[in-house]
């Protein structure tokens, strides 16, 4: 019987610290409004999957999409001014 083994080194073998750094956590916190807006948009999209499109559903979808765009603009402006660094 032949055993098949991996020829490469494991990708995670050299990690000494698996915790996120304070810079990673800070970047996540700066993007938190965008993450929340994208989750809200996804919730609306999921809720509209099994229903016929109504005026209220369309309005909720537009509002959630506009919220994502506004959050993206805010995050991009922060990154452009160097606030994230």
Mean pLDDT of 60-68: 97
Contact 61, 48 (CB under 8 A): yes
pTM confidence score:
0.69
Per-residue pLDDT band at 13 (split at 50, 70, 90): low
Residue 37's closest CA among 80, 79, 77, 73? 73
pLDDT of residue 10: 63
Residue 84, pLDDT above cutoff 60: no
Per-residue pLDDT band at 57 (split at 50, 70, 90): very high
Q: Which residue has the higher pLDDT, 62 or 17?
A: 62
């Amino acid at each position: 019987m032949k055993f098949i083994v991996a020829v490469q080194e494991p990708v995670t073998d050299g990690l000494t610290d698996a915790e996120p750094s304070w810079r990673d956590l800070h970047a996540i916190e700066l993007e938190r409004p965008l993450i929340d807006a994208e989750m809200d948009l996804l919730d609306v999209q999921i809720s509209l999957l099994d229903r016929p499109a109504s005026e209220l559903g369309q309005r909720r979808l537009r509002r959630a999409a506009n919220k994502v765009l506004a959050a993206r603009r805010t995050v991009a402006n922060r990154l452009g001014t160097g606030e994230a660094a």
